[in-house]
Chains A and B, each alone.
Chain A
C-alpha cells in the first residue's frame, strides 16, 4: 500500500508536469462541450424534448469522452516505463508487484476525477443545473469512478503489450468515439435501425442514461443496473487479463 502511494505521487507529478495530458483530458472535452451546446444545442432543443436543457443533456456524454481520452495516458505512461527501463528497475526492487499496476490505476482515477470536476464546473458556468440530491450525486460520481476503474485496467493491457507508443494509445480512439454512437448527444430514435440497435445496447448509452437520470432527478433505475453490470463486467475482465499478462513478464 505504501509503495502504491509513493509511485502514485510520482505519476501525479507526471500528470501535472505534462500540459498535453491536461489538454487532452480536460481542454478538448470542454471545447467539445462548447461546440455541442452553442453550435448544435439550439437545433437539438426540439429533438430532445422539453424538460431537460441541452447543457444538462450532453454533460454525461462529454464526461465519458474525457475519461476515455484520459486513459490513453495510462497506457502511454506504462509503456514508457517499460521502454525506459524504469519498469525493470521497479520490478527488481523489493516492493509489492501489485503496487506498480495499482499506482497507475490510482493515478488514472484521480486525474480522471480532476478532469470530471473541471468539466462540471465549466458546465455550471454554461448554465448546467441539477435538481439531484447528495445521494444521486454520489451515485453518479460512483458510476463514473467505476467506469474509469474499468477503463484504466483495460488501458494496462496495451500498456504492457504494445510495441510502440502509438500502439499503446490507439485503442482509446474507438472508446472516445463510442459516445457519438449512443444517446449521449442525440436521442437514438432518429438513427437507422441497425445503428439504433447498436446504440441502444452498447455500454455508453446505459451509463449516459444512468448518469443523466441521476443528475436530472429522473427515474433511471433500470439503466443504473445495466450500467453497473457493464462497468463491473468490464472491470473484472480487464483486471483478470491485465494480471495474466503481467504475470507472463517473468
Chain B
C-alpha cells in the first residue's frame, strides 16, 4: 500500500446554501509536491482549511499522516504547518522575533539558533532585526514560509504562495519551494497559476466545480488532451520575460 501523507475521500463542505466541495478525493504521497490547481472560488482554500483542522467537513473523510482531521485534530496539528493565503507574519515583531515565537510555541530546543539558521537559509539575515511590516511582499512570504518550516513539520500547506507577488519575488519563492523538495517534507500547494503548478509540482489535481476533475503528473495530464500538433510560430518574448530581462532577473529562470 502506498504511503499517503494526505488522503481525502468524498470530502464535502457547504457554507449555508452554498455547496463548495462536492466530494473531493485526493491522495498525496509522502515527500511529494502536490499542486491543487483551480480558479478563484473553486474551493482550494476550503480544502486546505479542512486539512489543517480549521474547518470541519460536512461529509466524507480526510486524514493527514494517518490521523483523522476531525477525530484526531490535535495529532494532525502536531504534524502540519499552514502557510495561509496572506503572509501570516506579525508585523509588529522583527523577522527574527517571528521565527523565535513559532519556535517557542512548537517547543523547539534552541529557538534563537533555529531562528539564526532559518533566517540565513531564506536570505533574511540582513533584515532579521527590522520589523516585519517593513518587509516587501516577497520577503514577508519568505519569512512566512520560514516560520512554517520551524520544527520540521511532516506536511506543509502552502495556500496560493505567490498570489499578489511581483514576478521577481514569485521566482524567489519558487526557488525556495523547489529547495524544499526532496527533503522528505510533503507539500500541498494551491495555485491558480498553471505555470506555477507546472514548475513546482510532482503531481497536479484540478479542482473545479467542487470536484477533482483531473489528477496526475504533468505528463499524464497532457495525455488527456488531444495529441500535440507541430506548428511553426515566431516566439515573441512575453512581457514578463522582457521585464525580467531588463531588471536582470532572467538568470533565476533557468
Contact = CB atoms under 8 A, between A and B. Distances in A.
Contact of A13 (B56, B97, B104): B97
B247 to A, nearest CB: 29
Counting contact residues on chain B (CB < 8 A from A), the size range is 20 to 34
A192 interface: no
A88 B54 contact: yes
B53 interface: yes
A250 interface: yes
Q: Which 3 A-B pairs have the closest CB atoms?
A: A85-B88, A92-B82, A94-B78
A250 B55 contact: yes
Interface in A79-131: 84-86, 88-95
Given A88-B82, A250-B53, A93 B105 contact: yes
A113 B49 CA distance: 38
Interface string B84-112: 11111111110001000110111000000
Interface residues of A, number: 21
A243 interface: no
Contacts of B97: 13
Contacts of B147: 89
Contact of A92 (B54, B89, B90, B101): B54
B80 interface: yes
Contact of A18 (B52, B89, B92): B92
B92 A14 contact: yes
A6 interface: yes
Interface centre among B78, B88, B97 (most CB of A within 10 A): B88
A250 B52 CA distance: 11
Interface in A1-24: 3, 6-7, 10, 13-14, 17-18
Given A13-B97, A92-B81, 10 more contacts: A7-B105, A13-B93, A88-B82, A88-B88, A92-B52, A92-B54, A93-B102, A94-B74, A94-B78, A94-B106
B77 interface: yes
Given A85-B87, A85-B88, A92 B53 contact: yes
Nearest to B56: A250
Interface in B41-91: 49, 52-56, 74, 77-78, 80-82, 84-91
B52 A95 contact: no
Interface of B: 49, 52-56, 74, 77-78, 80-82, 84-93, 97, 101-102, 104-106, 147
B40 to A, nearest CB: 18
Given A92-B52, A250-B55, A86 B90 contact: yes
Given A85-B84, A89-B82, A10 B53 contact: no
Contacts of B87: 85
A17 B54 contact: no
A90 B88 CA distance: 10
A135 to B, nearest CB: 39
Contacts of B53: 91-92, 250
B104 A84 contact: no
Nearest to A80: B91
A95 B74 CA distance: 9
B91 A84 contact: yes
A73 B218 CA distance: 50
Contacts of A86: 88-90
7 contacts: A6-B104, A7-B105, A10-B90, A85-B84, A94-B74, A94-B78, A250-B56
B54 to A, nearest CB: 6
Contacts of B91: 84
A181 to B, nearest CB: 36
Contacts of B102: 93
Contacts of A90: 105
B77 A94 contact: yes
A89 B106 contact: no
A10 B101 CA distance: 8
